[in-house]
Structure 1
Amino acid sequence: MSINYNLIIAIFCCVTIGKAQDILTQEQAVKLALENNYGIKIANNAVRVAENNTSILNSGFLPTLTGNAGATYNLDNTEAEFSNGTSTVLNGAESDRYNASVSLNYTLFDGLGRRYNYKSLKEQYQLSDLQARETIENTITQLFSIYYNVAQLTENLDALSETLNVSKDRLVRAQYQFDYGQNTKLGVLNAEVDINNDSINIISAAQQLKNAKRDLNVVLGNTLGTDFSVSTEVDFTLKFQKDSLFNKAKTRNVALLQTEKNIAISQLDIKSSKSGYLPTVGLNGTYGWNKNNNNAASFVAVSTNTGLSGGVNLTWNLFDGGGTITRVKNAKVNLESQQLEKENILIGIERDFENAWENFYNKLNIYNIQQQNIMTSENNFERTKEQFKIGQVNSIEFRQAQLNLLNAELSRNQAKYDAKLAELQLLQLSGELLNVQF
């Protein structure tokens, strides 16, 4: 059975180059995501729109000022008969008129509708801010899910590479033993088979690592090339007691805060709808200029008028066919729905928190157990290795000890990052995800 040594050398070169790459830390990844992730950018734009809507220019409290101007030209054939019995005929008589005016309209009172609508816009701005925060939290969670996947695959690739090194040493030893008649060809063939299997595992892991890096780059707004690595260091930062963290979840959870904003908006919608029961009082004023150039049949050849007019108007929709009554009823029903939604979210938070808390500590315990398992597997492998050198164990037993160590390392890597992601999920649920150092 032949071995493609050029392929193995290429694999080792890739692994060695990967270790020399610049390391993208967790802090740098978060910074890049906040600056370049497209989902976050879109969410921030939505906040900007909501902020613009809270401006006084969108409140309805300012007056409206309208300018008007016009001109009219007439070309008439006129037959005129005067009181003294004379008459005249004018063909192609020209006349023209010009006008210009400026009108001011201002609503003094609209049943307090503007006031409640303006307050509602402010609440909607704060709601948009919470929605942007939710997008950021979800993006950060997605970021670390992929980031730690890259880190896990990196460590897996290192473990597989070390396994391949051991298999290569074993092949060299088996070849020497065969050359000097101390072993059969079967030992050499077994070592070659294991090297090929280890090489295939490395190729698969390297491809998975490349794919994961591409996924990470998408979350970062495609700001990195393919030549980067990530930190494999993990710190567990959770320092809250369970009761303290649960209280934070009931007050800072972003989904709960959004529901509270929706309740406030619904309450304002009821008041705004009730404004339809009250009258509207407005002011209006106009300053105008008019000039008429009449034809010869008119008694006045040219007239020019300028003037200022103003007034107060009151409009009271005594009955609008029941539209206002329906809007008020629907607003009350919507408020009730939002309050029920809040109660439902609180129940869900309590359940999700208990699940997340137990999930985190279980995975953390599993990680600690896997750490101990690594030590046991290393001791077992080292002893098996020494016994293999002096011929007390065969190649199958040696390979099994080698695989036991590899599987322990892969399981430890999986447990480490599972525990960290469980911690992040718990922090997100309690509203503390953006308040910790990564």
Structure 2
Amino acid sequence: MHIKYSLFVILSLVVTRGFSQDLLTVPKAVEIALDNNYGIKMANNDNRIADNNKDVLNSGYLPTVSGNAGATYNLDNTEAEFSNGDVTVLNGAESSRYNASVNLNYTIFDGLGRYYNYKQLKELYNLSELEARETIENTMIQLFSVYYSVAQLSENVKSLEESLAISNDRILRAEYQFEYGQSTKLDVLNAEVDKNNDSISLMNSRQNLYNTKRDLKVVLGDDFAPDFKVDTLVNFILDLDKTDLYNKMMANNVALLKVDKNIIINEFTIKSNRSGYLPTIGLVGTYGWNKNNNNAASFVALSTNTGISGGVNLSWDLFDGGSTITRVKNAKIDLENRQLEKESLLLTIKRDFENAWGDYQNKLAVFRVQEHNILTAKNNFNRTQEKYKLGQVTSIEFRQAQLNLLTAEFSRNNAKYQAKLAELYVLQLSGELLNVTF
């Protein structure tokens, strides 16, 4: 499908950094999902069905041709009395008949019903393309959500590994200080408790990471690798213009385009149903062959006929009990519902766009604050660590600085990926998600 091809071309042009073989980049993940995701495959198959349905072979414009053949054999006991008074009695008289024909039926005019049905089938194909695009967009959002969850957990695991290394170093230092009488056994025990807590947190985060990677493989529809890493570098599109995106949303939002297609389809349904008010004119033709082998009681012993016959027929339901009137009325009500659906949808997506834009701007601002906050947390930890080595701060104060740094890193990671997902949702609403270079 052209949507998939265009997105693949865009992704193929992306210039990426040098990565190891087991690194699953965003462009690679998108490419794999487009090829293997089962939801996308099924949407593409539905689109193929709609493509078949809109073909002229399904339009009703072509004639139908049928062939018929038959044979009859009779074995009769016959008593025949002729006009001159003679009587003939036949026992076991045989007779047979054979026939074959080719018949053609063609509708010349059906009140324009098939004309509007054919147009409706074309619009249904266009609707199926939009539904396939919607499936791809939703799959991409799902893919990015799981992908960035893997990235966030990967960074969290790295932070926990670094924190565990700090805790291990703290135990060694506490043990040395205890051996030389510079601290109590309580400091060693506290360090061991904190180290164990860090180990538990790391094990839980690693398990969450493994589980989320499996979730990502399901979305991809393929086992990318026994194990893999993801890219934790996130680039934001900082030149997004709200007014431009709003205008694009009104023109390209897939939900709006779908409801517009449904309105057009309903309009054709009304016109197609109105064809019941008009007559149907058809053309029929037959080429036939008939052979009769008659018994002795018949005047003609053998007859063979071949020939062509043709004709024009007209049928007109002057009154069909009101079913056509009912269908037209109901189709008009359906059209009114589709128009009301569009008005409701407009209110909803306008609200969603305003909320999504505000949410994106807020989360982007929060991420920038978290970026600054982590610098402060690192500086605070480094200074506290130096003082701890000099014995100027307690182990409790050191642990608090360590936890503050870990919390800041977790908050930064969460803010980064939440801001990116908010950006992608704005792009989806505006109909631009598949036009972005990732």
| TM-score, L = length of structure 1 | 0.94
SS in 1 for 2:209: helix
Q: Cα deviations across residues 141-199 of structure 1 (Å, max 9, x unaligned)? A: 00111000000000000000000000111111111111122211111111111111100
Q: Does 1:413 align with 2:410?
A: no
Q: Which residue of the partner structure matches residue 255 of structure 1?
A: 255
Structure 1 residues 6-155: aligned runs within 5 Å = 22-155=22-155
Q: Does 1:361 align with 2:365?
A: no
Q: Does 1:428 align with 2:431?
A: no
Query: C-alpha displacement at 1:239, in angstroms?
Result: 2.8
2:246 and 2:353 in contact (8 A); partners too: yes
Q: Which residue of the partner structure matches residue 10 of structure 1?
A: none
Q: Cα deviations across residues 186-232 of structure 1 (Å, max 9, x unaligned)? A: 11111111111100001000000011001100011133244111111
Query: C-alpha displacement at 1:238, in angstroms?
Result: 5.1
Q: Which residue of the partner structure matches residue 234 of structure 1?
A: 234
The amino acid across from 1:204 in the alignment is N
Cα separation, partners in 2 of 1:364 and 1:245, compared to 1, 3 Å: same
Query: C-alpha displacement at 1:90, in angstroms?
Result: 1.8
SS in 2 for 1:236: coil
Separation in 1, partners of 2:426, 2:403:
34
Q: Which residue of the partner structure matches residue 382 of structure 1?
A: 382
Q: Cα deviations across residues 59-82 of structure 1 (Å, max 9, x unaligned)? A: 000011110000001111112233
The amino acid across from 2:264 in the alignment is A
The amino acid across from 2:269 in the alignment is D
Q: Which residue of the partner structure matches residue 351 of structure 1?
A: 351
SS in 1 for 2:320: coil
Q: Cα deviations across residues 318-358 of structure 1 (Å, max 9, x unaligned)? A: 11111111111111111111111111111111111110001
Identity of aligned residues (%): 68
1:21 and 1:227 in contact (8 A); partners too: no
1:424 and 1:433 in contact (8 A); partners too: yes
Separation in 2, partners of 1:79, 1:120:
64
Aligned length: 420
SS in 2 for 1:72: strand
Q: Which residue of the partner structure matches residue 210 of structure 1?
A: 210
Q: Which residue of the partner structure matches residue 294 of structure 1?
A: 294
Separation in 2, partners of 1:96, 1:236:
87
Structure 1 residues 241-320: aligned runs within 5 Å = 241-320=241-320
Separation in 1, partners of 2:399, 2:427:
42
Q: Cα deviations across residues 289-308 of structure 1 (Å, max 9, x unaligned)? A: 00011112222111101111
Separation in 2, partners of 1:186, 1:293:
119
Q: Cα deviations across residues 377-402 of structure 1 (Å, max 9, x unaligned)? A: 01100110010001000100000000
Q: Does 1:185 align with 2:185?
A: yes
Separation in 1, partners of 2:234, 2:75:
90
Separation in 2, partners of 1:167, 1:21:
33
* C-alpha RMSD over aligned residues: 1.2
1:47 and 1:125 in contact (8 A); partners too: yes
SS in 2 for 1:105: strand
2:32 and 2:222 in contact (8 A); partners too: no
| TM-score, L = length of structure 2 | 0.94
Q: Which residue of the partner structure matches residue 391 of structure 2?
A: 391
Give structure 2 stretches of 5+ with no counterpart.
1-18
Query: C-alpha displacement at 1:87, in angstroms?
Result: 2.5
SS in 1 for 2:95: strand
Separation in 1, partners of 2:244, 2:283:
57
Q: Which residue of the partner structure matches residue 13 of structure 2?
A: none
Query: C-alpha displacement at 1:360, in angstroms?
Result: 0.3
SS in 2 for 1:219: helix
Q: Which residue of the partner structure matches residue 7 of structure 2?
A: none
Separation in 1, partners of 2:325, 2:67:
37
The amino acid across from 1:244 in the alignment is D
Query: C-alpha displacement at 1:83, in angstroms?
Result: 3.4
The amino acid across from 1:150 in the alignment is V
SS in 1 for 2:91: strand
2:68 and 2:100 in contact (8 A); partners too: yes
Separation in 2, partners of 1:327, 1:25:
54
SS in 2 for 1:232: coil
Give structure 1 stretches of 5+ with no counterpart.
1-18
Q: Which residue of the partner structure matches residue 6 of structure 1?
A: none
Separation in 2, partners of 1:359, 1:432:
18
Separation in 2, partners of 1:291, 1:263:
57
